[in-house]
Structure 1
Amino acid sequence: MRVFKRASGAIKDRNSIWVAKFSPKGPFHNPDLETVIIKATSHDDKHIDSKNVQRVFQWLRTSPLYLKPLVWILSMRMQKTRSWVVALKGLMLIHGVFCIDIPVVQRMGRLPFDLSNFSDGHLSPAKAWSFNAFVRAYFAYLDKRSAFASSETKQKNVSNKMKEVDETLMEELEKLQKLQGMIDMLLQIRPKNENLNVGLILEAMDCVIVEVFGVYSKFCNKIAKVLLRIYEVGGKMEASIGLKVLQKASIQVEEMSLFFDFCKDIGVLNASQCPKIDRISREDIQDLERIISGASSKKGCGVVGNDEDNNKAIVVRDCSSTASVSQQKGSENGLMTVITQQWEVFDDDHIMVGAKGMDNVSNGDKVIIGTTTNPFEESYGIVPYVPAHYQSLPDLISW
């Protein structure tokens, strides 16, 4: 039965390639690109065809104008398929496309196809439900991720045009909550039973783990900066929302630890690849509670107050709860700055969401090293692209 299924899938792929080759070219149809996409999203459930996946990425790197036919071809294939293998490979492919540093990709918005109600048509319901759940969860996250990236890109473009406009503290807190929502969605992408511990699922889990590292690193970077602003402004409303964010972060740290333990159990991670995730500092929560209660707890970034109780500044904390508190002189007048050891700031210029693990991500004198296998590792390297001035970008909003 399994041999017949593979043979049937191979025949379907070959027929699709023949149809693509003999179909006329059009504004959205490119036979050569469609052939590569079909091979990259074949019915072979053993593994994804990384060679043809990289070919798809090369088409896009050649010119961003290929994004529109690429997404159109992939969308047509996703809408027609009843195979969890093809659907999952399509999601992995679009995930890799997101990680190519081309502006037009970041402006794409929500995914142009819908797999929220995907159902495999070749397996019995008893076997299909776990595969269906995995595909639906992966799609839900990528759809949210694409919309979030598009929103951030639009906001950056507005900020560049109006240089005096800065993000408000409430807007930054809202972004933190969105990042936490994305982490929640990522943690839902996992095999629901042992039948899913197959090669293709594990390859997809590699991509998910890398994404968890990237999103959480971005969250840590933003929360450290937002806390500094809250301490400086001292608003009760902002402190109240910040407190909720920290409380949720405490829960998510526990959930991520369990998620990574689960990944190690199924063979996706090992102890040397998984970085330690420390708990949220109780001190930060207490500081926000004091602001909410009306107590003075303002702390400027590098600004030291005159009161002995507030004679300290919040500095970025690294993820090492066992490290001792160190002190150093903050200025010539002998005032001291306390550096606690809880938060780690990740510079956005050094973190690539979707990069292969977190290889040699540095911050100050501390280096965090973590690696994981990824079928799209070549695509995750940021490839500089200089667009030709005569090329007009495709209108993705009208899709």
Structure 2
Amino acid sequence: MRLWKRVFGALKDQNSLLKARLVCHLTSGNPDIEKAIIKATSHDESYIDFRNTQSVFSWIRLSDENFQPTLSVISKRLEKTHNWVVALKGLMLMHGVFCCKVSSPHTIGHLPFDLSNFKHGHSESAKNWSFEAFVRSYYDFLEQKSMVLLHFSKQPNNNKTEEHLILQDLVCLHTLQLLLDTLLQIKPRYAAKSNTFVLEAMDCLVVESFDIYSRICDGIMSVLADIYSCGMTETSTMLTILEKATVQGVKLSQYLDFCRQMGVNNASECPKTEQIDETDLQDLEVLIEYTSDESEEMKSLVMDKKMMTKAHESNDSKGGLKAIITNEWDVFDEDDKEPD
């Protein structure tokens, strides 16, 4: 039965390639892009085609004109499939597109395909439910990530007061925290936990989780430097964000433990998650209390205390909130060469 499934999947991929050649010939499209995407998202359950995956990324980095055809082919491929292997490979490919370090993917918004109700096959089967659930949760994260990228791309900094910039930064921090919440919900179960493709996708998600948490930490440090001269609204919002970041630091550590037990390589190699300094929370609580009483003298004292604390922490490698550096990591190996 397994052999017949592989043969049937290979025939479907070959049929897709033949159709792609014909359609591209009639429409003057790019057959190389479509061929690479079909091969990168094949039905083959035995391996991931990294060569053609990298070719797709190389085409996108080569020219902005290649982005829309690439997105169109990926979308058509994922909208038609009822196979969890093709769906997962397609989502991993889409995740890599977001990491290509070009601006085009930041303008998508809602993804042009919908896997929120994905089902494997055309009949109910309890055997594949763990893979279906993983595909759906992965899709939910990428859909939200796409909307976040669009939101950030529309954030101009020109002609804005310092107060407006701080409010903008607070909104961005809240948005990133919601995105991290969604990612931390992605937990493979049962058969999916030991699958090669799922582990590969989790490798990408572990890197992503550290990147998001790092950006949250960097953003918090940046805002804290100016928050003590702001009003009640900004200060209260910052306190809420700090409290949530404290909880998320713990949840991220637990998530990485879960991934290590699964055998996710990047989870085993990542550093320890730094936690929020409790003094930041305490100082903000005091500041809010006295800001509500309009006590400028006490507010000034809190600011002076904070500046002294920061000056001390700059000489202490163990103190304060630290960003986690993941620059040497990437979701997929970068290859800036022109595709074959």
| TM bracket, shorter-chain basis | 0.7 to 0.9
SS in 2 for 1:243: helix
After TM superposition, the score normalised by the length of structure 1 is 0.75
In the TM superposition, what are the counterparts of 1:320-399 in structure 2 within 5 Å?
Answer: 341-345=319-323, 357-359=326-328, 374=331, 376-378=332-334
C-alpha change, 1:26 and 1:259, in structure 2 (3 Å) is farther
Per-residue deviation, residues 243-275 of structure 1 (Å, max 9, x unmatched): 111111121111111111111111113776121
* Secondary structure, counterpart of 1:314 in structure 2: helix
TM-aligned CA deviation for residue 216 of structure 1: 0.8
Render the CA deviation track for 1:202-224: whole Å, top value 9, x for unaligned.
11111101111111111110011
Q: Say if 1:358 and 1:103 are closer, same or farther in 2 by CA, change over 3 A.
A: closer
Aligned equivalent of 1:118: 118
Cα deviations by residue, 1:105-125 (Å, 9 ceiling, x for unpaired): 222222111111111116753
Match of 1:215 in 2: 212
Calculate the TM-score normalised by the size of structure 2: 0.88
Larger displacement relative to structure 2 (193-202 or 28-37): 28-37
Do structure 1's residue 142 and structure 2's residue 138 form an aligned pair? no
Query: Deviation digits for residues 92-144 of structure 1, max 9, x if unmatched?
Result: 11111111122222222221111111111167531222111111111111111
Superposed, 1:224-243 pairs within 5 Å as: 224-233=221-230, 235-243=231-239
Match for residue 286 of structure 1 among 274, 277, 282: 282
- Per the alignment, residue 366 of structure 1 pairs with none
Counterpart residue number, 1:180 = 177
Shift in Å, 1:63: 1.2
Correspondence for 2:61: 61
Q: Relative to 1, partners in 2 of residues 1:122 and 1:51: Cα closer, same or farther, differing over 3 Å?
A: farther
On the 8 A contact 2:202/2:264 being kept in 1, the answer is: yes
Q: 2:50, 2:301 → 1: CA distance?
A: 50
In structure 2, distance between residues paired with 1:271 and 1:310: 35
The equivalent of 1:260 in structure 2 is 256
Q: In structure 2, do the counterparts of structure 1 residues 5 and 281 end up closer, same or farther at CA, with 3 Å as the change threshold?
A: same
Counterpart residue type for residue 3 of structure 1 = L
User: What CA distance in whole angstroms lies between the structure 2 residues aligned with 1:35 and 1:270?
Assistant: 30
Q: 1:60-85: per-residue Cα shift (whole Å, max 9, x none)? A: 12211011111111111111000111
Shift of 1:384: 12
| Residue 245 (1) aligns with residue 241 (2) | yes
**Rounded Cα–Cα distance in structure 1 between residues aligned with 2:58 and 2:270:** 31
Return 5+ residue gaps in structure 2 as ranges.
292-297
Shift of 1:293: 0.8
Partner of 2:295: none
Cα distance change on mapping 1:326 and 1:76 into 2, 3 Å: closer
1:197 to 184, 188, 194: 194
1:84 is the counterpart of 2:106: no
Question: Residue type of the partner of 1:260?
Answer: L
CA 1:286–1:127: 2 relative to 1, 3 Å: same
Matched residue, 1:73: 73
Distance 2:102 2:161 in 1: 25
Shift of the 285–67 alpha-carbon distance from structure 1 to 2, 3 Å rule, reads: same
Change (3 A) 1:70 1:298: farther
User: Does the CA-based 8 Å contact 1:83-1:120 persist in structure 2?
Assistant: yes
Unmatched tracts of structure 1, length 5 or more: 316-324, 329-337, 352-356, 360-370, 386-399
Task: Select between 29-38 and 197-206 the one with higher mean Cα deviation.
Answer: 29-38
Displacement of 1:169 after TM fit? 2.1
Tell me how far apart the structure 2 counterparts of residues 5 and 42 of structure 1 sit (CA, whole Å).
13
2: CA distance between counterparts of 1:327 and 1:169?
23
Structure 2 CA distance, aligned partners of 1:104 and 1:253? 31
Matched, 1:153 2:153: yes
Give the direction of change, closer, same or farther, for the CA distance of 1:150–1:311 in structure 2 (3 Å limit).
Answer: closer
Quote the residue 2:21 is aligned against: 21
Aligned to 2:45: 45
* Counterparts in 2 of 1:106 and 1:258: CA distance versus 1, 3 Å: same
Give the structure 2 partner of residue 335 of structure 1.
Answer: none
Q: C-alpha offsets along residues 177-222 of structure 1, whole Å, 9 cap, x if unaligned?
A: 1111111111112212244411111111111011111111111100
Q: Percent same amino acid at aligned positions?
A: 40
Write the distance in 2 (CA, Å) between the matches of 1:137 and 1:271.
19
Runs of 4+ in 1 over 3 A off after TM superposition: 24-29, 162-167, 269-272, 297-300, 325-328
Alignment partner for residue 314 of structure 1, among 292, 310, 313? 310
Could you tell me how far 1:89 is from its partner in structure 2? 0.8
In the alignment, is the contact (CA less than 8 A) between 1:299 and 1:314 conserved in 2?
A: no
